[in-house]
Amino acid sequence: MAVRAVRGAVQLERDEAGHMREQVSELLTAILERNSLVPDDLISVWFTATPDLHSDFPAVAARKLGITDVPLICAQELDIAGAMPRVVRILAHVETDLAKTDVAHVYLGAAAALRKDIAQ
C-alpha cells in the first residue's frame, strides 16, 4: 500500500453554504469513486477556497458525508488577479495500491480548465 495525493477542484455557481456543501460533496465522492477508494483510505484532506467564498467551510461537506475520523483542514487560495473565481480545491492524501500514473484527479465542470494536463 502506497501513500498517494489526489487533486480535485470545482467552481461554484454562487457563494451559498448549501450549494458549497452539495458541490464539494459531489467532488469528494467523485474522487473516491474514480479511484476506488473508501473513506477509510483517506489519511488527510486539505480544502482550499478562493477569497470570494465566505459562506461555509468546504470541510463541512466531508463531515456531512460521514467522514468524521480523518483530519481535515481548510485554507484560502492566493488572491491572484485573473484567477478563476469561486473555486474549491481538494488535496487528499490516501492509502492505495494505485500507481501514481493511475490516480484519477477530478476537476468538475469549468474547473477542468485549471489543470487540463491532469483532469480526468
Q: Pick out the residues of the known binding site for prephenate.
A: 7, 89, 107
Of 74, 58, 62, 73, the residue nearest 12 (C-alpha): 58
Q: Which residues, other chains included, contact 64 with Cβ-Cβ below 8 Å and sequence gap of 6+?
A: 21, 25
Rounded distance, CA 63 to CA 17, Å? Answer: 14
Cite the annotated binding site by residue number.
Answer: 7, 89, 107
* C-alpha–C-alpha distance, residues 48 and 90, integer Å: 7
